[in-house]
């Protein structure tokens, strides 16, 4: 359970958040919504490879979840970063993919609320907050993922704006989104220096969607891609000019890495509870499974890993909440690396302790296994976190 921290919002606004009692009440409504509207549909979304648009819209209508960390005067709930994470954690207990899809549309809405023009707010903000339209943030391309500076989508200057051409792949919500923050290169081979970001309206000419990818799981994320063919982007739809796009992309990455870490802790907590409850009643050789040292130690190791992962995640949350953006880079990398490396062995241990029963899909542990794999790539792969940590070695341990 996170502590309640004072917070300067990640989108730069003072966000007082809800009072503790008010927030606790709100959280009980989120949990009820999860249990009634999300959990019963998780396997249906996986089996049908379906994007959960109806339930996302319902989450917006009933609880305002697509505007969590947006100021109330812009139509949001005005939650703090930490409160947003508590909500995402509750949802991730049974569906990290749903939570991940939700927060990605939310992030586009929050960026428009903060950075967009009056026209953007009028055209898109209410539609995103109400789940009438969905949002994506698109950096990755078929030939460039970790190496973001190598993207090839090209923005060519034209009268009154830019013509965008290229292809994006592996984009959250791409199955349904049409309000998209796109990163493109303005000068061929200029690397990070040439990257700018643009707001693209997928209902306009020059935008076409590619088929979402069938994956090993996590279909509620709606992962897929799109193509831009001379899409005209007027000057006012430039969100970050050349040279600033790269930094703009990095500015919110620590928060994203931290909520992924938090979601991983939430999935392991759910699995461990399930395993402990099962192991405390199932008997073999006259004793409950939990009375066998071999099983109890295996689950104790999971609890031990979870404690450590939660503390690293708490540290990243409190660093971000205190507004220490420089320290947040390392804190978020440590949290994401540790949690995404611990989650798979932890889930396997929980499944193993339940014997064959652990394989039944209704327990959602297989669903969490594919989400755990996904956590190792999104918002910077595990190796990229290691790379980031390695860059700090000399400064921190070299004297």
Interface with ligand FAD includes 4 (CB under 6 A)?
A: no
Interface with ligand FAD includes 51 (CB under 6 A)?
A: no
Length of the chain: 399
User: Of 136 and 185, which CB lies nearer to ligand FAD in the complex structure?
Assistant: 136
User: Are the C-beta atoms of 138 and 183 separated by less than 8 Å?
Assistant: yes
Interface residue with ligand FAD, options 171, 263, 312, 349 (CB under 6 A): 171
Piece of 24-32, 48-56, 133-141, 293-301 that binds ligand FAD (CB under 6 A): 133-141
Interface with ligand FAD includes 249 (CB under 6 A)?
A: no
Piece of 86-94, 119-127, 158-166, 379-387 that binds ligand FAD (CB under 6 A): 379-387
| DSSP H helices in 116-218 | 118-120, 126-129
Interface with ligand FAD includes 22 (CB under 6 A)?
A: no
Interface with ligand FAD includes 252 (CB under 6 A)?
A: no
Burial class (CB in 10 A: 0-12, 13-18, 19+), 389: middle
Interface residue with ligand FAD, options 15, 179, 279, 378 (CB under 6 A): 378
Smallest gap from Cβ 46 to ligand FAD, in A, equals: 13
Nearby residues of 306 by Cβ (< 8 Å), 6 or more positions away: 265, 268, 269, 272, 342, 346
CA distances from 194 to 151, 155, 162, 233, 241 (A): 10, 10, 14, 17, 9
Interface with ligand FAD includes 223 (CB under 6 A)?
A: yes
Interface with ligand FAD includes 175 (CB under 6 A)?
A: no
Interface with ligand FAD includes 35 (CB under 6 A)?
A: no
Q: Which of 258, 178, 337 is nearest to 10 (CA)?
A: 258
Interface with ligand FAD includes 105 (CB under 6 A)?
A: no
Interface with ligand FAD includes 172 (CB under 6 A)?
A: yes
Interface with ligand FAD includes 137 (CB under 6 A)?
A: yes
Cα distance between residue 62 and residue 88, in whole Å: 16
Interface with ligand FAD includes 146 (CB under 6 A)?
A: yes
Interface with ligand FAD includes 128 (CB under 6 A)?
A: no
Interface of this chain with ligand FAD, residues 190 to 219, rule: CB under 6 A: 218
Interface residue with ligand FAD, options 348, 387, 389, 392 (CB under 6 A): 387
CA 285 to chain centre: 44
Nearby residues of 283 by Cβ (< 8 Å), 6 or more positions away: 289
Smallest gap from Cβ 376 to ligand FAD, in A, equals: 8
Question: Can you spell out the DSSP letters for 60-124?
Answer: HHHH-GGGTTS-GGGTS----HHHHHHHHHHHHHHHHHHHHHHHHHHHHHHHHHHH--HHHIIII
Smallest gap from Cβ 223 to ligand FAD, in A, equals: 4
Interface residue with ligand FAD, options 112, 179, 221, 248 (CB under 6 A): 221
User: Of 24 and 383, which CB lies nearer to ligand FAD in the complex structure?
Assistant: 383
User: Of 24 and 147, which CB lies nearer to ligand FAD in the complex structure?
Assistant: 147
Cα distance between residue 394 and residue 399, in whole Å: 7
Strand residue runs (E) in the chain = 135-138, 154-158, 161-171, 179-185, 195-201, 207-209, 224-234, 238-240, 283-284, 287-288
Interface with ligand FAD includes 108 (CB under 6 A)?
A: no
Sign, CA dihedral 227-230-232-233, equals: positive
Interface with ligand FAD includes 307 (CB under 6 A)?
A: no
Burial 48-74 (b: 16+ CB within 10 A, else e): eebbbbebbbbbbeebbbbbbbbbeeb
Piece of 3-11, 25-33, 126-134, 373-381 that binds ligand FAD (CB under 6 A): 373-381
Q: Which of 75, 88, 80, 91 is nearest to 127 (CA)?
A: 75
User: Of 140 and 197, which CB lies nearer to ligand FAD in the complex structure?
Assistant: 140
Interface residue with ligand FAD, options 140, 186, 310, 313 (CB under 6 A): 140
- Binders of ligand FAD: how many residues, by CB under 6 A? 22
Residue ranges that bind ligand FAD, judged by CB under 6 A: 104, 136-140, 145-147, 170-172, 218, 221, 223, 374, 377-378, 381, 383-384, 387
């Amino acid at each position: 359970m996170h502590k309640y921290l004072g917070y300067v919002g990640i989108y730069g606004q003072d966000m007082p958040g809800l009072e503790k009692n008010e927030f606790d009440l709100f959280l009980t409504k989120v949990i009820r919504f999860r249990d009634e509207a999300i959990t019963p549909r998780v396997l249906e979304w996986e089996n049908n490879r379906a994007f959960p648009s109806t339930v996302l819209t319902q989450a917006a209508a009933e609880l305002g979840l697509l505007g969590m960390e947006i100021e109330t005067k812009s139509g949001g709930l005005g939650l703090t970063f930490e409160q947003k994470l508590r909500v995402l954690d509750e949802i991730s207990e049974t569906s990290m993919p749903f939570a991940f899809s939700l927060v990605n549309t939310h992030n586009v809405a929050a960026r428009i609320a903060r950075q967009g023009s009056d026209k953007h707010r009028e055209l898109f903000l209410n539609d995103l907050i109400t789940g009438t339209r969905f949002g994506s943030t698109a950096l990755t391309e078929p030939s460039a993922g970790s190496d973001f500076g190598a993207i090839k989508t090209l923005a060519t200057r034209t009268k009154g704006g830019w013509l965008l051409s290229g292809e994006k792949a592996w984009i959250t919500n791409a199955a349904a989104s049409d309000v998209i923050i796109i990163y493109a290169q303005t000068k061929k081979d200029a690397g990070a220096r040439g990257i700018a970001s643009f707001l693209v309206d997928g209902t306009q000419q020059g935008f076409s969607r590619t088929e979402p990818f069938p994956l090993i799981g996590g279909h509620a994320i709606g992962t897929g891609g799109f193509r831009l063919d001379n899409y005209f982007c007027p000057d006012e739809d430039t969100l970050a000019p050349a040279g600033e796009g790269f930094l703009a992309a990095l500015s919110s990455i620590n928060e994203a890495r931290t909520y992924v870490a938090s979601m991983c802790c939430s999935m392991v907590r759910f699995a461990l509870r399930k395993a402990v409850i099962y192991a405390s009643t199932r008997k073999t050789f006259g004793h409950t499974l939990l009375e066998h040292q071999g099983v109890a130690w295996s689950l104790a190791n999971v609890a031990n890993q979870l404690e450590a992962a939660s503390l690293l995640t708490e540290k990243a949350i409190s660093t971000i909440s205190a507004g220490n953006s420089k320290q947040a880079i390392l804190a978020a990398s440590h949290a994401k690396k540790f949690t995404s490396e611990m989650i798979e062995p932890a889930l396997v241990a929980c499944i193993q302790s339940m014997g064959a029963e652990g394989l039944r899909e209704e327990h959602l542990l297989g669903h969490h296994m594919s989400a755990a794999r996904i956590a190792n790539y999104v918002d910077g792969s595990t190796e990229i976190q290691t790379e980031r940590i390695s860059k700090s070695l000399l400064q921190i341990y070299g004297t």
